[in-house]
Amino acid sequence: MSFIFAPADAKAPHTARKVHVRRLYDILNLSIQRRDFVRATRAWTILAHCKEVDWRALWRTSVHILAGEFGDTSRSIEFLHIMMLQHPEDRETILREVVLRLIGVGQYREALDELELYLPSFPYQDNALLHLYSALLSLYLSQPPKGGSQSNPSLLRDAQSHFERAKILDPGNAIADAFLDKIQHPNRADVQSGDESDDEVANKDPKRKRLRT
């Protein structure tokens, strides 16, 4: 007997009940792929009541169904916070899911607040990707408002600090390198253009050129 999808710990079913559970698992995943979240919810609800299924281990699927059925991140994020308490071994991954969902709906300040809540503590403080997210969000939020000309220096310092931390944890991180260079040398292009202007003047003025050499 063949099945389309298989759980991570799947074994060949030997009873009618276990066959039924596997069929439900197929229905769940097919419904999600077809974006039939009403049917997916029904299948997941039945599976969650089966003693053979650890419903908490399906938290990623649960979040996907919540986001698809209700189109509202608030319920997904609430569920993810519950999962962080029940699955401490996955809490870094779950926090990443929370942040990405907030970013996806334009709630950048809320996403940064989530990171600032957890990043000072272990194990989040040693996660290069979370520091990179925090740096990018801080950098974005530091930009002057529309019509303004002054960036937020505090957020800009936070961005630099998180980029530096990400680089320490992941020395080969090209994104952190590139943004650090932009923050540390914001006027590098102007300096280069200024040097070129001096050269042009020197070419026009041989006396000045001799003095510079």
pLDDT in tens, 133-180: 999 999 889 888 776 668 788 998 999 999 999 999 999 888 888 888
In a domain, 206, yes or no: no
**Is the confidence at residue 198, as pLDDT, over 50?**
no
**Is the confidence at residue 22, as pLDDT, over 90?**
no
| Beta carbons of 170 and 176 less than 8 angstroms apart | yes
Residue 187 is classified by DSSP as: T
Average pLDDT, the chain: 75
64 lies in the same domain as 1: yes
111 lies in the same domain as 157: no
Q: How far apart are the first and last CA of the chain?
A: 85
100 lies in the same domain as 51: no
pLDDT over 70, % of the chain: 69
Structure confidence at residue 64 (pLDDT): 67
d(CA 169, CA 129): 9
d(CA 172, CA 131): 14
In a domain, 187, yes or no: yes
In a domain, 155, yes or no: yes
93 lies in the same domain as 39: no
For 124, the token pair is: 């989040």
Q: What is the pTM of this model?
A: 0.62
Average pLDDT over residues 88-108: 86
Average pLDDT over residues 87-107: 85
131 lies in the same domain as 194: yes
Confidence of residue 196 (pLDDT cuts 50, 70, 90): very low
**Is the confidence at residue 127, as pLDDT, over 50?**
yes
Average pLDDT over residues 61-71: 62
176 lies in the same domain as 148: yes
Domain that holds residue 22: 1-68
164 lies in the same domain as 188: yes
Structure confidence at residue 13 (pLDDT): 53
d(CA 194, CA 177): 25
**Structural domain total, the chain:** 3
**How many Cβ atoms are within 10 Å of 174's Cβ, its own excluded?**
9
135 lies in the same domain as 117: no
Q: Which of 186, 74, 176 is nearest to 131 (CA)?
A: 176
d(CA 94, CA 102): 13
Average pLDDT over residues 100-109: 86
**Is the confidence at residue 72, as pLDDT, over 70?**
no
- Report helix, strand or coil for 106: coil
58 lies in the same domain as 89: no
139 lies in the same domain as 84: no
In a domain, 119, yes or no: yes
